[in-house]
């Protein structure tokens, strides 16, 4: 092999494997009625108001977007009570996760995150060639005590997801507060709340922002808001932390149509409420269906369920693909992650699962 001088971190990097796109499976199978429950997207798509807002702005495509993101920051400020100077916009929250790591972590430093956490935490750490400290999970949940105890003198950043992807597990405010008390103020804690809109009554992260200047709350418009294709996320933090994040953020990382869509999506609370209702109903449907098949699942406060299929997950995933159902094999023995879909999608998944595992539903 010829010598290609990639930096050490990137030379060892295994890239993120996204959920299989519907179009790809359509080409492979030559069928069109495919159900994708693999990437935790909103099964309702996006709000009709988002489509109207984007359509009205198409003439602006020829111009650079507002690099400061004024309209979107204004909407975030109005809705969450966090001022412009404390907001960082991202091209999806994946972009932000990378910005966090690049802003605060160098090669000699370490990053703490949990086993069974979001795969991107390990990837952004590896890209810097920093040390990853992966703390064993407690069951499928973050072990916050063990994570606090794992912090070393060279630890610069901790990634935490609540609820966690791919397990759906969560922790309460008091547990998080106790955790934050133990973390030195020079260690950045990223609280990744990609699914917070689904069960908002359970955790108010924003009140911790004033208490802890080392806290970053990360949100995305890709899941409940239904804007996955447009790539918008935002981070809330202290003015000082936000200043660093914005130094390396690309000046036009969020495009104009995405910002317009995000504003419309944030304003349409009725759509979010409807998405919650559909999610709760779908979760109940999947839980009942899985239980009737004699299988178990991990209780979830997100829009997906980690199911113990009691079989090899790679083989089960492949067999489901042949039935036109795309789910996610997340590297956990015997388990598959299934996004909650519409009633019809969930039904198709349950029927396919029963078929490929040779199980029969008991009433
Ligand atoms: C989906 C997800 C994200 C990222 O989504 P973006 O589309 O990049 O905003 C971030 N964190 C977790 C835990 C997720 O599940």
Domains present along the chain, CATH in parentheses: 14-45+270-357 (3.90.1150.10), 48-268 (3.40.640.10)
pLDDT, mean of residues 201-219:
94
Distance of CA 205 to the CA centre of its chain: 16
Task: State the distance between the two ends of the chain, measured CA to CA, in whole angstroms.
Answer: 59
pLDDT greater than 80 at residue 338: yes
Strand partners, 181: none
Check residue 186 and give its pLDDT.
96
Is 233's C-beta closer than 6 angstroms to any atom of ligand 1? Answer: yes
pLDDT in tens, 298-324: 999 999 999 999 999 999 999 999 999
Ligand 1 atom closest to Cα of 232? 9
Which of 40, 142, 191, 222 has most ligand 1 atoms within 8 Å of its beta carbon, as the pocket-test mutant? 222
Would the CB of 165 count as within 6 Å of ligand 1? yes
Mutate-to-test residue for ligand 1 from 93, 140, 162, highest number of ligand atoms within 8 A of CB: 93
Alpha-carbon span 266 to 69, nearest angstrom: 15
Please compute, for residue 94, the number of CA atoms within 13 A of its CA located in the half-sphere on the CB side.
Answer: 14
| Distance between CA atoms of residues 245 and 249, nearest Å | 6
Ligand 1 and 192: CB distance under 6 A: yes
Quick one: CA torsion of 344, 346, 351, 354, rounded to 10 degrees?
-170
161 lines ligand 1 (CB under 6 A): yes
> What mean pLDDT is predicted for residues 185-212?
95
Measure 220 CA to ligand 1 centroid, in angstroms: 6
Q: Beta 131-135 vs 87-90: how paired, if at all?
A: unpaired
DSSP for residue 268 = -
Give percent of the chain above pLDDT 90: 89
pTM of the model: 0.95
From residue 286, alpha-carbon distances to 163, 225, 304, 339 in Å are: 19, 22, 10, 10
10 Å Cβ neighbour count for 165?
A: 25
- On the question of pLDDT at 279 being above 80, the answer is yes
Is there a cis peptide before residue 166, judged by omega within 30 degrees of 0?
yes
Whole-angstrom distance, CA of residue 231 vs CA of residue 259: 9
Length of the chain: 363
Average pLDDT, the chain: 95
- Strand duo 155-161 + 110-114: pairing: parallel
Does the C-beta of 91 come closer than 6 Å to ligand 1? Answer: no
- Predicted pLDDT of residue 12: 85
Query: How far is CA 213 from each of CA 111, 184, 206, 288, rounded to the nearest angstrom?
Result: 18, 11, 12, 43
Residue 255: pLDDT band (50, 70, 90) is very high
As a whole number of angstroms, the distance between CA 288 and CA 284 comes to 6
Residue 1: pLDDT band with limits 50, 70, 90: low
Give CA–CA dist 241/1, Å, rounded: 43
Å from CA of 194 to ligand 1 middle: 6
Q: Check residue 262 and give its pLDDT.
A: 98
269 alpha carbon to ligand 1 midpoint, in Å? 21
pLDDT score recorded for residue 17: 79
Mean local confidence (pLDDT), 342-349: 97
């Amino acid at each position: 092999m010829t010598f290609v001088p990639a930096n050490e971190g990137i030379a060892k990097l295994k890239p993120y494997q996204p959920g299989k796109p519907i179009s790809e499976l359509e080409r492979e199978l030559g069928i069109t009625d495919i159900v994708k429950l693999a990437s935790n997207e909103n099964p309702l798509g996006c709000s009709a108001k988002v489509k109207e807002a984007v359509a009205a702005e198409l003439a602006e495509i020829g111009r650079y977007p507002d690099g400061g993101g004024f309209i979107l920051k204004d909407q975030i400020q109005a809705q969450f009570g966090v001022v412009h100077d404390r907001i960082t916009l991202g091209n999806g929250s994946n972009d932000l996760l990378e910005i966090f790591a690049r802003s605060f972590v160098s090669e000699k430093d370490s990053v703490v995150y949990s086993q069974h956490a979001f795969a991107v935490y390990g990837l952004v750490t590896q890209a810097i060639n920093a040390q990853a400290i992966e703390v064993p999970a407690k069951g499928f949940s973050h072990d916050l005590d063990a994570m606090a105890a794992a912090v070393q003198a060279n630890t610069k950043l901790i990634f935490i997801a609540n609820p966690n992807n791919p397990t759906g597990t969560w922790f309460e405010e008091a547990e998080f507060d106790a955790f934050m008390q133990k973390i030195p103020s020079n260690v950045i804690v990223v609280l990744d709340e990609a699914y917070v809109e689904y069960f908002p009554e359970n955790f108010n992260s924003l009140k911790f922002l004033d208490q802890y200047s080392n806290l970053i709350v990360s949100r995305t418009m890709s899941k409940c808001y239904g804007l996955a294709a447009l790539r918008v996320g935002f981070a809330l933090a202290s003015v000082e932390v936000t200043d660093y994040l914005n130094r390396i953020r690309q000046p036009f990382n969020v495009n104009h149509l995405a910002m317009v869509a995000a504003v419309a999506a944030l304003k349409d609370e009725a759509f979010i409420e409807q998405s919650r209702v559909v999610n709760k109903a779908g979760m109940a449907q999947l839980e009942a269906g899985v239980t009737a098949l004699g299988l178990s699942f991990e209780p979830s406060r997100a829009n997906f369920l980690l199911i113990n299929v009691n079989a090899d997950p790679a083989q089960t995933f492949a067999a489901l693909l042949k039935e036109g159902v795309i789910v996610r094999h997340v590297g956990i023995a015997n388990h598959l992650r299934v996004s909650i879909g519409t009633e019809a999608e969930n039904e198709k998944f349950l029927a396919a699962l029963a078929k490929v595992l040779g199980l029969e539903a008991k009433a």
